[in-house]
A and B are shown apart, each in its own frame.
Chain A
Amino acid sequence: MPIVEIKDLRVTFTGGGKPVPAVSGVDLEVERGETLAILGESGSGKSVTLRALMRLNPEGKSRMEGTVRVAGQDVAALGRRELRAFRGRTAAMIFQEPSLALDPVYTLGQQIAEAVMVHDGCSRNEAMARALALFERVRIPSPERRLQAYPHEMSGGMRQRAMIALALSCRPQLLLADEPTTALDATVQIQILVLVRELQREFGLAVIFVTHDIGVAVEVADRIAVMYAGRVVESGPMREVIRRPRHPYTIGLLRSRAHGALAKGARLETIPGAPPDLADLPPGCPFAPRCFLATATCATTAPGPEPVGAGHQARCLRVDATAALLPAVAEG
């Protein structure tokens, strides 16, 4: 049984005037020990989907529909106490900007020990010992001293390692990573990705990794789900999606990479237009206005998921047309 099952997840933000459907009908599954990368640009609903897994979207200002099951538990039905026990223990999260996600006025050791004490009810000394072991595990140099440090006294890479140690402190089964490398230097990014992959194998974690960087997704993922305008437009095994993309949006993303050396004077290919206004989506395929393959039908008919390979789906009416493009994409 998969550890994460999302069926027809819809998250609507109702804080402002017009309700904004940030996520409209997402289906995803993640097996134990598997890494899924959710790929998409800002506003595609990838972070909201991730937060919905821990019910972290603001309760008063958003509505969540559909089924979300994590490790057999129905997340939407959890009571307050169950939810507290679930967060941090069953699923844990690491954030994009560790300098913002850590409390500035507590030491890192205190913040990790706090989580351990809440979940395991052990003494402060035991919790600190666990924090120390974790700091060693995530390879923070001179860990005893760093436990006494405040977040602002560490570098970005060290802070993210501390954040990972915090997330793993209560031995979760599922790790949710919300663009954890976006705020870091390129060299530090690789170290963090390698660390996450290592820990994932060691702890047998399932990981959902949200990113807008295809390079990062290729580095960590077993499977990829591409999101656009609150929907998963294409999903499948990582190699399959990268080598044989069948949704025009995925094709556009892959083409717009500056892979290796871009010849001088050559223009970087981009996807024309801008992401749609979520509060005012067109009736058909939301990508149609920007799509180079769009037909009149695309503007009126919303496509369903089409199987296009083993475990590979694309939400597009023109999968036949994209199939014809395959050799060209693979070359590019």
Chain B
Amino acid sequence: MLSYVLRRLIYMIPIVVGVSLVCFVLVHLAPGDPLVSVLPPDASEALKAQMMATYGFDRPYWHQFGLWVGRALQGDLGTSIATSRPVASEVLRAVSNTLLLAAVATAIGFAFGCLFGFVAGYFHDSWIDKAASALAVVGVSVPHYWLGMVLVIVFSVELNLLPPTGAGPDGSGDWAWNWAHMRHLILPAVTMSVIPMGIIARTVRALVADILGQEFVGALRAKGLGDRGVFRHVVKNAAPTALAVMGLQLGYLLGGSILIETVFSWPGTGFLLNAAIFQRDLPLLQGTILVLALFFVFLNLAVDVLQTGLDPRIQRG
């Protein structure tokens, strides 16, 4: 198992190189002048050239890429053009906010998705199944930014129960585990949880219905197990797939739902990406994409390792 993890980590090197190359190229292919947001429209050519030199935009692309990778390896992702702050700390803060939101949303989605999926699969083809499946379809298909706005209208505007935007009181971007901050998490997390809930519910329903139809379930009853004993077997059979789906969902949500974070002004990676794109903030954009890509790769590894631990039929050495 350890050698498997090590080997997977080594395989990650080419992936990371590829990802950083692609994200560098994409960002530089995009049209727009990166300095447009910091220079006044009537700035002199000399000043422009000086700024280009400061940020290194005057050098050849391969040189820029080399410098960027070299610094990134030392944990330095450059300086944001718009805010003049180090990209690494900006990204880190945004990632921690997004991670929090994504983890809570996935947890809610996983819990309810499993519940609905299990009930639907257990009462396969009954009205309970149909109701739960309909709910799952709604969860997958409803536009989340729309749902977010509806929730804001109901709970913030009409009922005045929960704050509509931000990650904390007074627009502070730093998280703390207290009720004043947690109130801000509820609406975006619930909105976001609807996606994984629907997908996990459908997966678990199909899994449970399939497992219950297998012959070994009859054999378990034949040896004298009751519903509780059979339930334990069904859970262990369904767990590897359900967890894999949950891991992938967490990965998608980590990419930061740009729409949801924008609706709720949640200071996460989606929000940051959105700002970086509109301000042509190339270092910030590059850094954010790279960190997110790395996250995804690590998450996949974690899911694979967990699955191997759970399902003896998956052989990895």
Contact = CB atoms under 8 A, between A and B. Distances in A.
Interface residues of A, number: 30
Interface residues of B, number: 20
B93 interface: no
Nearest to A86: B224
B236 A105 contact: yes
Contacts of B9: none
B216 interface: yes
B215 interface: yes
A87 interface: yes
B237 interface: yes
A178 to B, nearest CB: 10
A7 to B, nearest CB: 23
Interface in B138-161: none
Interface stretch (A69-77, A94-102, A243-251, A320-328): A94-102
Given A105-B236, A105-B312, A84 B226 contact: yes
Contacts of B237: 103-105
A166 B313 contact: no
B233 A85 contact: no
* Most interface-central of B214, B219, B222 (chain A CB within 10 A): B222
Interface stretch (A114-122, A124-132, A222-230): A114-122
Nearest to B222: A93
A221 interface: no
Contacts of B313: 104-105, 150, 152
* Most interface-central of B219, B223, B311, B313 (chain A CB within 10 A): B223
A106 interface: yes
Interface in B280-317: 310-313
Contacts of B223: 87-88, 92, 114-115, 118, 166-167, 170
A115 B218 contact: no
Interface string B206-232: 000000001110111111111001000
Contact of A88 (B216, B224, B312): B224
A105 B311 CA distance: 6
A106 B311 CA distance: 9
A56 B233 CA distance: 18
A212 interface: no
Contact of B225 (A56, A93, A101, A118): A118
Nearest to B220: A103
Given A56-B222, A103-B220, A114-B225, A95 B312 contact: no
Nearest to B218: A56
Contact of B226 (A80, A97, A166): A80
Contact of A56 (B214, B216, B221, B310): B221
A144 to B, nearest CB: 18
A179 to B, nearest CB: 12
B221 A87 contact: yes
Nearest to B211: A103
Contact of B233 (A80, A92, A97, A103): A103
B242 to A, nearest CB: 13
Nearest to B310: A105
A319 interface: no
Given A100-B214, A105-B312, A93 B229 contact: no
Contacts of B215: 95, 97, 100-101
Contacts of B312: 104-105, 107, 150, 152
Contacts of A107: 312
Contacts of A84: 224-226
Contacts of A102: 216, 219
Given A56-B218, A101-B219, A104-B313, A119 B224 contact: yes
Nearest to A116: B223
B212 to A, nearest CB: 10
A106 B225 contact: no
Contacts of A100: 214-216
A54 interface: yes
Contact of A115 (B214, B224, B226, B233): B224
Contacts of A86: 224
* Most interface-central of A97, A101, A105, A152 (chain B CB within 10 A): A105
B119 to A, nearest CB: 16
A161 interface: no
5 contacts: A100-B215, A103-B233, A105-B236, A115-B223, A118-B225
Interface of B: 214-216, 218-226, 229, 233, 236-237, 310-313
Given A92-B223, A105-B237, A150-B312, 13 more contacts: A56-B222, A84-B225, A85-B224, A87-B223, A95-B215, A100-B214, A100-B216, A104-B313, A105-B311, A106-B236, A152-B313, A166-B223, A167-B223
Interface of A: 54, 56, 80, 84-89, 92-93, 95, 97, 100-107, 114-115, 118-119, 150, 152, 166-167, 170
